[in-house]
C-alpha cells in the first residue's frame, strides 16, 4: 500500500505548494503576525513561545470532524496521530513528528494547565493521556507546540505540547448533545454492527464576579475485537500441514494466518470485544478577585466500567460444539475493568498585560480505583473459565504538579522575561493478586507487585528580546533535579527493594526569528527525558505477555533543531519546517519471543543513538477557487535511523542470530510519510460539508525491522483513510451533523485491528 500511495503523497505536496505559490503571487503580501492566544479563564499563563504552533478551534472542529471522543478533535493536525482503537478507548497515545504510538511520555497534553499525560509510564496502556477528563463540548481551542524549544516545559516536550483550552461562560448557557455511531465490522468469523451512544450536557453561567461550568458526559460503546487468540507461531516449513497447529480434538479456526514476521500461526478466536460505559463529571468555577486577578478551581470525576467478551472459532471434532480447545488466550481476553479516577486543579492568575503578571497552580490526578479482573484458565471440553483467577490493581497510582510562573515586560516590550518553578511527582502502585473467585476479587496472595515514585523539580528562565525591527531572539534555560525512590518488585515469591536514583541537568534553548516577507525562525533546544516510574519498576504478567522493568535505565538526552519558513496568505498561511532530533540513550520498549521462555517478554533498553530528521509542510487557506471552499493539508517526511546500539542482542533462529546489527534500521513506530487533507465546502451559512483524508506509511515495531508482513495481527500497516461530514445549522439553537469515518472501509492494523466503516450522527440543542 505504501508504494502505491507515495505518488499520491508527493502529488498532494506539489499541489499544495503550487496552490500556495499562486496565492502568494496573486495577492498582496501579508506578514504573518505572531499568534495571540486568548482564552477566558485559562489557567495557563502565556509568554512568547519559541515553537512552531498549529491550532484548531471549536467551530472548526464542529464543522470538519466526526467528534465522539475528545482526542478525535486533532486527528487532522500536521504530523499528529492518536492511536484510538475504539470509542471509549482508555489507551489513545499521541504520536508526533519524531516518535510513534509507544511514546506517551515523549509529549505533554494539558487541559487549562492541568497535566493529562500520565507520566507514570511511557507506553500504550497506563501512559495514555486522560482524555476522558475533558468533554468535547467544553473545548474552545487546541494549540499544539512542536519540539522541546521552550524552557517552560520538561524534556517530555521533545515530541510536542498540546494545550486544550476550555471555555467559561459570559452569561447563562446550556446545551445537550446526542451522538450515535454505528460501525459495521467484519473480520475472520466476526461480523457485527457495533453501536456507540454518547450524551453530553453542559450548564454554565456568569453572575457578577463568579462563573461556573458543569458538564456531564456519558458514553455507552461496543468495540470490534482488539486482539485475536492465536497459536504458537511456526516457521513456513513446519506449517506445510496446517492441521498440525490445531488444538488436539478440534476443528475450525484459521490455520493459515501469519504473524508480522511471516510465520504461520492459527487464529482460534476473537478477544477484547469491549462493552464500555464511561461517565465524566466536571465542575469548573472562577472568581474575579479584582479586574486583573482571578481564582479558578476544577474538579473532574471519571468512571469506566467495561466487560471484554471472547468468541471462539473452534469446535470439537466429535460433536461440533463450540470449544476453547484449552487455549489459554481466551482466559486473558475475557475480563472486567472497573475504573474511578479524580482530578483537582486550583489556580490564581493575574492578567494585567502590563509590566508584570504571575500565576500559581497545583493539580492532582489519582486513580482512586482501577482494577482489571480475569480468570486464570479455560476449562477443558467447552467454553467456560476457571473460578480462580487474578486481579490487577492500580489503586493509588497517580501524579501531582505545582507551578509558579511570572512574566516581566520592559517598556515597549523590547524584553519579555518569563520564569518559573515546577514540581511533579508520579507514584506507581501496581499489584496483581491471585483470587479464589476472580469475579468477586477474593484475594489469596500476591502474584506480582511493582511500586515506586519519581519526583522532578525545575527552575527555568526565558527572555524574548526584540533587538531590531523584525528581529527577535528568545534565549532560555531549564535546570532539573530528578529522583526515583521507593522502588519495589515482587515475583515468584521473591521481593526486591530497588536502589534510589537521582540525576540533574541543565537544558539551554534558543530561537532567532526574522519577520520579513516570510517569517523565518531557527530554533534549537537540549532536553532530558527521565525514565518513568513504570519503565523503572513496573513488572506485569497478564495473559500471554510479561513486562520486565529495568531500574538501571539512563535518561534520554535530546538535541533538537528546526528551521521554519512561514508566510501569511490571503485568508490562510503556508509553513515549511526542516527538523532534526538526535536522541542518545533512547528508551525503547521491545516485545520478543525469547528462547526458552514460553510467553513473549517485553523489556526496555537504552539505545545508544537515534536520529529523526525530516520536513513538514502545512497549508491552510480560505476561499480556494471559490468563496465557499476551504483547504487545510499537511505532508511530513521523516528519515528515522538507529545510529548506534551496542547493547543489541538479536533473537536467534536455530541458534543463529537473525540480525547481527540494527545500525541503519528505522526507529520503531515512526513512519516515513504522513499526510492529511481537509476540504470544506460551505453551501450556505447553515450547511457545510467536509472531506478529510489521512495517510500514514509503513511502520516497524522492532529494532531490527524484521516485522515485514502486512495486514496481519500485530503488524503496523500503512493506511489511507477517508472521512466525510455534513453539518447543518437549523437556527441559533439546533445543529445536526451526519458523517462517515473510514468511508472506503479500509482494513488495517496497528498491532490491533482498527475500526472499519462507521456512521456518526450528532444532534445538538444549545440555549444562550
What pLDDT, on the 0 to 100 scale, is given for residue 13? 42
What's the average model confidence in pLDDT over 368-391?
A: 92
Alpha helices in 314-356 (DSSP H): 329-332
Taking only the tens place, the pLDDT of each residue in 18-31 is: 443 443 333 333 33
Q: What is the DSSP letter of 244?
A: G
What pLDDT, on the 0 to 100 scale, is given for residue 546? 56
What pLDDT, on the 0 to 100 scale, is given for residue 443? 77
What pLDDT, on the 0 to 100 scale, is given for residue 599? 52
Question: What band does 605 get if pLDDT is binned at 50, 70 and 90?
Answer: confident
Question: What band does 540 get if pLDDT is binned at 50, 70 and 90?
Answer: low
What pLDDT, on the 0 to 100 scale, is given for residue 539? 72
Q: Nearest to residue 151, comparing CAs of 405, 563, 475?
A: 475
Q: Nearest to residue 575, comparing CAs of 526, 519, 524?
A: 519
What pLDDT, on the 0 to 100 scale, is given for residue 761? 97
The C-alpha cell that represents 489 in the structure block: 518488585
Q: Mean pLDDT: which of 228-242, 484-498, 504-518 is highest?
A: 504-518
d(CA 431, CA 413): 54
What pLDDT, on the 0 to 100 scale, is given for residue 12? 40
Rg (the chain; Cα; Å): 26
Strand ranges inside 667-741, DSSP E: 673-682, 687-696, 719-729, 734-741
Does position 186 have pLDDT exceeding 60, yes or no?
Answer: yes
What's the average model confidence in pLDDT over 445-470?
A: 95
Does position 43 have pLDDT exceeding 50, yes or no?
Answer: no
Does position 369 have pLDDT exceeding 80, yes or no?
Answer: yes
Average pLDDT of the chain is 88
The position carrying cell 486550583 is 346
What pLDDT, on the 0 to 100 scale, is given for residue 672? 95
What's the average model confidence in pLDDT over 388-393?
A: 93
Q: Nearest to residue 529, comparing CAs of 106, 155, 108, 150?
A: 155
Question: What band does 258 get if pLDDT is binned at 50, 70 and 90?
Answer: confident
Select the more confidently predicted residue: 17 or 394: 394
Q: What is the DSSP letter of 91?
A: -
Taking every pair of Cα atoms in the chain, the longest distance, rounded to a whole number of angstroms, is 89
Q: What is the DSSP letter of 701?
A: -
Q: Which H or E run contains 145?
A: strand 139-146
Question: What band does 237 get if pLDDT is binned at 50, 70 and 90?
Answer: very low
Q: What b/e readout covers 650-663, taking b as 16+ CB neighbours within 10 angstroms?
A: bbeeeeeeeeeebe
Question: What band does 591 get if pLDDT is binned at 50, 70 and 90?
Answer: low
- Measured in whole angstroms, the distance separating CA 243 from the mean position of its chain's CA atoms is 41
Question: What band does 657 get if pLDDT is binned at 50, 70 and 90?
Answer: low
In this prediction, what percent of the chain has a pLDDT beyond 70? 88
Q: Are 187 and 747 in contact (CB under 8 A)?
A: yes
Helix (H, G, I), strand (E, B) or coil at 601: strand
- Measured in whole angstroms, the distance separating CA 215 from the mean position of its chain's CA atoms is 23
Question: How many other CB atoms are found less than 10 A from the CB of residue 492?
Answer: 7
Does position 697 have pLDDT exceeding 90, yes or no?
Answer: yes
Q: Which H or E run contains 3?
A: helix 2-26
d(CA 753, CA 86): 10
Does position 446 have pLDDT exceeding 70, yes or no?
Answer: yes
What's the average model confidence in pLDDT over 78-105?
A: 93
Does position 653 have pLDDT exceeding 70, yes or no?
Answer: no
Give the angle subtended at the CA of 10 by the CAs of 4 and 12, to the nearest 5°.
Answer: 105
Q: What b/e readout covers 403-433, taking b as 16+ CB neighbours within 10 angstroms?
A: bebbbebeeeeeebbbbbebebbbbbbbbbb
Q: Are 228 and 269 in contact (CB under 8 A)?
A: yes
Question: What band does 570 get if pLDDT is binned at 50, 70 and 90?
Answer: confident
The total number of residues written for the chain in this structure: 768
Give the angle subtended at the CA of 680 by the CAs of 679 and 684, to the nearest 5°.
Answer: 155
The position carrying cell 497552580 is 361
Phi then psi for residue 572, to 5 deg, are 180, -165
What's the average model confidence in pLDDT over 162-180?
A: 94
d(CA 418, CA 462): 5
What pLDDT, on the 0 to 100 scale, is given for residue 45? 58
Question: What band does 289 get if pLDDT is binned at 50, 70 and 90?
Answer: very high
Phi then psi for residue 743, to 5 deg, are -65, -25
What pLDDT, on the 0 to 100 scale, is given for residue 425? 97
Does position 32 have pLDDT exceeding 80, yes or no?
Answer: no
The position carrying cell 498585560 is 353
Q: Which H or E run contains 15?
A: helix 2-26
Q: Nearest to residue 183, comparing CAs of 199, 197, 166?
A: 197
The C-alpha cell that represents 320 in the structure block: 461440533
Q: Are 124 and 57 in contact (CB under 8 A)?
A: no
Select the more confidently predicted residue: 511 or 112: 511
Beta bridge partners of 586: 607
d(CA 756, CA 758): 6
What's the average model confidence in pLDDT over 119-134?
A: 91
Which residues, other chains included, contact 21 with Cβ-Cβ below 8 Å and sequence gap of 6+?
none
Does position 242 have pLDDT exceeding 70, yes or no?
Answer: no
What pLDDT, on the 0 to 100 scale, is given for residue 152? 95
Taking only the tens place, the pLDDT of each residue in 665-677 is: 999 999 999 999 9
Does position 471 have pLDDT exceeding 90, yes or no?
Answer: yes
Q: Nearest to residue 458, comparing CAs of 424, 492, 416, 432?
A: 424
Q: What is the DSSP letter of 171?
A: S
DSSP, residue by residue, 613-660: EEEEEEEEESSSSSTTEEEEEEEEEEEEEEEE-TT----EETTEES-S
Question: What band does 511 get if pLDDT is binned at 50, 70 and 90?
Answer: very high
Question: What band does 656 get if pLDDT is binned at 50, 70 and 90?
Answer: low
**List of domains in the chain:** 2-767 (2.40.170.20)
Does position 652 have pLDDT exceeding 80, yes or no?
Answer: no
Does position 6 have pLDDT exceeding 80, yes or no?
Answer: no
Amino acid at each position: 500500500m505504501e508504494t502505491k500511495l507515495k505518488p499520491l503523497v508527493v502529488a498532494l505536496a506539489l499541489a499544495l505548494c503550487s496552490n500556495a505559490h499562486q496565492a502568494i503571487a496573486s495577492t498582496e503580501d501579508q506578514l504573518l503576525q505572531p499568534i495571540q492566544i486568548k482564552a477566558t479563564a485559562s489557567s495557563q499563563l502565556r509568554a512568547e513561545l519559541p515553537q512552531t504552533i498549529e491550532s484548531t478551534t471549536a467551530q472548526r472542529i464542529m464543522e470538519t470532524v466526526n467528534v465522539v471522543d475528545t482526542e478525535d478533535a486533532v486527528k487532522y493536525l500536521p504530523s499528529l496521530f492518536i492511536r484510538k482503537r475504539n470509542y471509549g478507548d482508555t489507551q489513545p497515545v499521541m504520536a508526533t513528528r519524531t516518535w510513534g504510538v509507544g511514546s506517551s511520555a515523549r509529549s505533554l497534553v494539558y487541559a487549562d494547565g492541568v497535566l493529562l499525560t500520565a507520566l507514570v509510564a511511557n507506553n500504550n496502556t497506563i501512559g495514555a493521556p486522560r482524555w476522558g477528563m475533558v468533554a468535547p463540548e467544553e473545548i474552545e481551542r487546541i494549540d499544539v507546540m512542536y519540539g522541546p524549544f521552550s524552557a517552560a516545559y520538561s524534556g517530555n516536550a521533545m515530541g510536542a505540547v498540546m494545550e486544550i483550552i476550555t471555555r467559561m461562560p459570559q452569561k447563562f448557557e446550556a446545551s445537550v448533545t446526542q451522538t450515535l455511531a454505528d460501525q459495521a465490522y467484519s473480520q475472520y468469523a466476526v461480523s457485527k454492527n457495533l453501536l456507540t451512544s454518547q450524551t453530553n450536557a453542559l450548564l454554565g453561567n456568569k453572575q457578577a464576579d463568579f462563573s461556573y461550568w458543569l458538564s456531564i458526559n456519558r458514553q455507552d460503546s461496543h468495540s470490534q475485537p482488539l486482539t485475536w487468540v492465536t497459536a504458537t507461531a511456526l516457521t513456513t516449513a513446519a506449517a506445510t500441514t496446517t492441521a498440525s497447529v490445531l488444538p488436539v480434538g478440534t476443528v475450525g479456526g484459521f490455520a493459515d494466518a501469519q504473524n508480522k514476521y511471516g510465520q504461520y500461526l492459527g487464529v482460534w478466536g476473537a478477544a477484547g470485544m469491549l462493552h464500555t460505559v464511561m461517565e465524566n463529571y466536571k465542575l469548573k468555577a472562577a472568581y474575579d478577585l479584582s479586574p486583573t486577578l482571578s481564582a479558578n478551581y476544577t474538579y473532574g470525576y471519571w468512571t469506566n466500567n467495561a466487560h471484554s467478551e471472547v468468541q471462539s472459532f473452534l469446535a470439537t471434532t466429535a460433536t461440533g460444539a463450540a470449544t476453547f480447545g484449552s487455549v489459554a488466550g481466551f482466559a486473558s481476553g475475557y475480563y472486567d475493568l472497573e475504573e474511578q479516577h479524580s482530578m483537582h486543579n486550583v489556580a490564581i492568575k493575574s492578567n494585567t498585560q502590563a509590566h508584570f503578571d504571575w500565576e500559581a497552580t497545583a493539580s492532582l490526578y489519582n486513580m482512586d480505583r482501577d482494577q482489571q479482573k480475569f480468570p486464570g484458565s479455560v476449562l477443558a471440553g467447552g467454553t467456560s473459565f476457571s473460578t480462580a483467577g487474578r486481579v490487577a490493581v492500580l489503586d493509588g497510582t497517580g501524579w501531582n504538579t505545582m507551578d509558579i510562573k511570572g512574566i516581566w515586560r520592559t517598556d515597549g516590550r523590547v524584553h519579555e522575561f518569563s520564569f518559573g518553578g515546577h514540581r511533579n511527582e508520579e507514584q506507581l502502585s501496581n499489584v496483581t493478586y491471585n483470587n479464589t473467585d476472580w469475579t468477586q476479587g477474593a484475594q489469596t496472595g500476591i502474584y506480582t507487585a511493582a511500586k515506586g515514585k519519581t519526583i522532578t523539580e525545575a527552575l527555568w528562565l526565558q527572555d524574548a528580546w526584540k533587538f531590531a525591527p523584525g528581529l527577535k531572539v528568545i534565549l532560555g534555560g531549564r535546570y532539573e533535579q530528578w529522583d526515583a525512590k521507593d522502588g519495589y518488585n515482587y515475583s515468584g515469591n521473591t521481593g526486591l527493594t530497588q536502589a534510589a536514583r537521582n540525576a540533574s541537568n541543565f537544558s539551554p534553548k534558543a530561537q532567532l526569528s526574522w519577520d520579513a516577507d516570510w517569517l523565518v525562525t531557527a530554533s534549537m533546544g537540549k532536553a532530558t527525558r527521565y525514565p518513568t516510574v513504570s519503565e523503572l519498576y513496573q513488572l506485569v504478567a497478564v495473559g500471554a505477555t510479561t513486562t520486565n522493568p529495568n531500574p538501571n535505565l539512563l535518561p534520554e538526552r535530546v538535541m533538537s533543531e528546526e528551521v521554519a519558513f512561514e508566510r501569511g496568505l490571503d485568508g490562510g498561511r503556508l509553513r515549511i519546517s526542516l527538523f532534526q532530533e538526535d536522541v542518545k540513550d533512547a528508551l525503547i520498549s521491545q516485545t520478543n519471543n525469547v528462547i526458552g521462555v514460553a510467553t513473549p517478554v517485553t523489556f526496555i533498553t537504552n539505545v545508544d543513538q537515534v536520529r529523526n530528521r525530516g520536513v513538514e509542510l502545512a497549508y491552510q487557506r480560505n476561499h480556494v477557487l471559490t468563496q465557499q471552499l476551504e483547504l487545510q493539508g499537511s505532508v511530513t517526511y521523516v528519515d528515522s535511523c538507529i545510529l548506534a546500539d551496542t547493547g543489541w542482542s538479536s533473537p536467534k533462529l536455530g541458534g543463529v542470530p537473525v540480525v547481527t546489527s540494527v545500525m541503519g534500521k528505522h526507529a520503531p513506530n515512526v513512519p516515513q510519510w504522513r499526510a492529511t487533507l481537509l476540504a470544506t465546502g460551505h453551501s450556505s451559512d447553515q450547511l457545510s460539508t467536509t472531506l478529510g483524508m489521512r495517510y500514514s506509511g509503513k511502520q516497524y515495531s522492532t529494532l531490527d525491522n524484521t516485522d515485514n508482513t502486512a495486514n496481519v495481527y500485530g503488524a503496523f500497516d500503512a493506511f489511507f483513510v477517508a472521512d466525510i461530514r455534513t453539518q447543518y445549522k437549523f437556527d441559533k439553537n439546533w445543529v445536526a451533523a451526519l458523517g462517515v469515518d473510514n468511508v472506503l472501509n479500509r482494513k488495517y492494523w496497528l498491532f490491533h485491528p482498527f475500526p472499519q466503516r462507521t456512521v456518526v450522527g450528532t444532534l445538538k440543542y444549545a440555549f444562550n
